[in-house]
Amino acid sequence: MGSLEAGIFKFVMPFPGLSHTGQVIVTNTIFVFIIVLGISWWATRRLSLVPRGWQLIFEMTLGWLGGFMSDIMGKKSGPRYLPLIASFFLFVLAGNLIGLIPGCTSPTSNINTNLGLALIAFLATFFVGIREIGLKGYLKHKMGPVLAIAPVLFLLETVGEFSRPISLTLRLFGNIMGEDVLIMVLNKLAGMLGYIPMIPVMMAILILPIITSLVQAFIFALLPTIYFAGAMGWGEHEQHSEHTEVSKEQAEQQNT
């Protein structure tokens, strides 16, 4: 497993008390932070009304993500949680794609990073529910429609709530670790057969990890949105009118 743990600069920040793998992962996490913040700073350096370059890419990405959130969580509270969801998306995307550079390890291929992110999402659903419909409304939503089965339903919903960070963590960990193992195997194969004949094979095989990275980042951003919407009681109470308003707008747009 030596080549799975190599860092690109061949140096790690000497955090005391961490194993070598931990130091590599934390170094790569800081590296991903620097990349995401650096590109964001570069994109917002000279904001213009007609976006060009990185500002255009960021506007398209965040607008698309904000559109999804407004669809799922409603127009009023959708944009309110866009910073959190977009942070998840950008960090996980950059973290996944770093692993494709030969010699680098994705910070998201370690279960600790993913557990940290999933715990943030788990605590956030609690706070979103309380902020949107109040503590009493949130508890009443958890207890279900009928008061008779309230204890059973409350228990079931709590256990299901705890299964969400586990599934988020393991999904991201399994996918990105599998991707890293695949690249390690390709490296070993290239070492045996020579690098030059392996270049077209690696180009062809690398399409799958790129698609997986994009989809997993999108899913890690989409699932907390759905959990937020569930915590807000979306689709069960009076939000139906807002939903039909949106579809009426879309029908008008299609007619004109």
The answer to whether 92 and 107 are in contact (CB under 8 A) is no
* Closer residue to other proteins in complex, CB, 72/86: 72
CA distance 88 to 107: 13
Which range touches other proteins (CB under 8 A), out of 6-14, 112-120, 127-135, 177-185?
177-185
- Site for other proteins contains 218 (CB under 8 A): yes
- Site for other proteins contains 108 (CB under 8 A): no
Tokens of 127: 């706070």
Which range touches other proteins (CB under 8 A), out of 34-42, 96-104, 171-179, 182-190?
171-179
Q: Taking the CA of residue 229 as centre, how many other CA atoms within 13 Å lie in the half-sphere pointing to its CB?
A: 24
Q: Provide the minimum distance between the beta carbon of 126 and other proteins in the complex, in angstroms, as a whole number.
A: 23
Element (H, E) at 75: none
* Closer residue to other proteins in complex, CB, 53/178: 178
- Of 145, 152, 117, 147, nearest to 233 (Cα)? 145
Question: How many CB atoms lie under 10 A from the CB of residue 151?
Answer: 10
Which range touches other proteins (CB under 8 A), out of 14-22, 165-173, 198-206, 227-235?
165-173
* Closer residue to other proteins in complex, CB, 132/180: 180
DSSP designation for 239: T
Among positions 163, 253, 254, 255, the unique one binding other proteins when judged by CB under 8 A:
254
Q: Provide the minimum distance between the beta carbon of 151 and other proteins in the complex, in angstroms, as a whole number.
A: 28
Element (H, E) at 232: none
User: Amino acid identity of 20?
Assistant: H
- Site for other proteins contains 56 (CB under 8 A): no
* Closer residue to other proteins in complex, CB, 77/216: 216
Among positions 174, 190, 202, 205, the unique one binding other proteins when judged by CB under 8 A:
174
- Site for other proteins contains 235 (CB under 8 A): no
Tokens of 104: 């680098």
Residue 192: which residues within 8 A CB-CB, separation 6 or more?
none
CA distance 82 to 7: 32
Among positions 53, 178, 191, 235, the unique one binding other proteins when judged by CB under 8 A:
178
- Site for other proteins contains 153 (CB under 8 A): no
Backbone phi, then psi, for 113, in 5-degree steps?
-60, -45
Tell me which residues touch other proteins (CB under 8 A).
Answer: 1, 68, 167, 170-171, 173-175, 177-178, 181, 215-216, 218-219, 222, 254
